[in-house]
Amino acid sequence: MRLLLLATALLFAACAAPAPHPVPADPRWLTYDGGDGPGRGKHIVLVAAEQEYRSEQSMPMLAKVLATHHGCHCTVLFAQKDGLVDPTQPTRGEDKAVVHDVPGLEHLASADLLILFSRFLTLPKDQLACVLDYLDSGKPIVALRTANHGFLGEFPYEVAGKRVRFGEDVLGGTFLGHHGNWHADSTRASIEPSQREHPILRGVTDVWGPSDVYRTYPVGGSLPAGCTALLHGQPLVGRKPGDAPNTDKEPLPVAWTKTWTGNRGKTARVFQFTMGSGADFQNEGVRRVTINAAYWCLGLEDAIAGDRSVAIVGDYQPLDTGFDYKALGVMPRPVAHYR
């Protein structure tokens, strides 16, 4: 009888325990084990591979929030050079010979969600193949800020014999210019009235960040068919939350949903958020929108709770946005620096 009770207890414990993290620990990337929470057992891969907005700091922060408060296993991958996270690397537009390196992209195969923050990446063929395979998988994408111009040069992806543009076709819009004034104003986002009940907006009451509004479609145009705008960004005249709106600038969509269907005929949920600088993520509303979007992308919208914590875990003091790396203190660092 005791053996039966012991076996039952062990079986119950095994069933109750979350599945182990699917990615082995490795000095080339960061892993965070999820615990209890609605995302228990889900695996999110976050990619930090841009040069301007300090994603190398914000993606580990976001991973810790998702693991600690929401139960998701998280893996953070970085653009690296010589084994160091290097946000100072040039793009192919600046150096025709550059090829970027994002170790660990093969782990997209076990991901339930990709959170992508890249800019003008040029990847080797084996790494690009991992991205293209993910786009065909039917698994979802959260795309942040510069991800809508996340790849530069030839992006050899076709569906039904037609070349696919990553920003315009997969995400619903690419960077066409700074609608706001670059590094001079900020963004106050407001909820699209017709979408107030959308689950991604549950508990969202304040969304502001010091990054400017992107334009993703021509003047006089609109988001492409199939996109549903959730937030509109109003440029402000300065970089403080209380600054007045710039009435010479119309609000433009900064967050929307759509779907994407790749070569396997599987349809994925897509969320694009053109906010997301390191400093933007100090705003609770920006974090809540992004985390709610992760739930929605994972098909967990019924579990979105407007009062579930999105509090930062540990210390988070992102460096300022920009390319003046020496003045900003941006330099190549070991992956472990960002844990």
Residue 122 lies inside a defined structural domain of this protein = yes
Residue 227 lies inside a defined structural domain of this protein = no
pLDDT of residue 1: 54
Instruction: State the Rg of the chain over Cα.
Output: 20
pLDDT of residue 2: 59
Residue 204 lies inside a defined structural domain of this protein = no
Phi/psi of residue 302, nearest 5 degrees: -65, -20
The domain tally of the chain equals 1
Residue 226 lies inside a defined structural domain of this protein = no
Residue 151 lies inside a defined structural domain of this protein = yes
pLDDT of residue 154: 74
Q: Which of 283, 184, 290, 278 is nearest to 231 (CA)?
A: 290
pLDDT of residue 17: 67
| DSSP at 170 | I
The pTM for the full model equals 0.95
Given a contact cutoff of 8 angstroms between Cβ atoms, the answer to whether 286 and 207 are in contact is yes
Q: What CATH number is given to the structural domain containing 272?
A: 3.40.50
Please give the chain's pLDDT, 339 residues, in tens: 555 544 444 444 444 567 899 999 999 999 999 989 999 999 999 999 999 999 999 999 999 999 999 999 999 999 999 999 999 999 999 999 999 999 999 999 999 999 999 999 999 999 999 999 999 999 999 999 999 999 986 789 999 999 999 999 999 999 999 999 999 999 999 999 999 999 999 999 999 999 999 999 999 999 999 999 999 999 999 999 999 999 999 999 999 999 999 999 999 999 999 999 999 999 999 999 999 999 999 999 999 999 999 999 999 999 999 999 999 999 999 999 999
| Structural domain boundaries, residue 63 | 28-177+253-311+326-338
Residue 120: how many other CB atoms lie within 10 Å: 21
Given a contact cutoff of 8 angstroms between Cβ atoms, the answer to whether 190 and 232 are in contact is yes
C-alpha–C-alpha distance, residues 130 and 136, integer Å: 10
H runs (alpha helix) in the chain = 2-16, 55-70, 125-136, 284-297, 325-328
Residue 231 lies inside a defined structural domain of this protein = no
Residue 75 lies inside a defined structural domain of this protein = yes
Residue 237 lies inside a defined structural domain of this protein = no
pLDDT of residue 3: 54
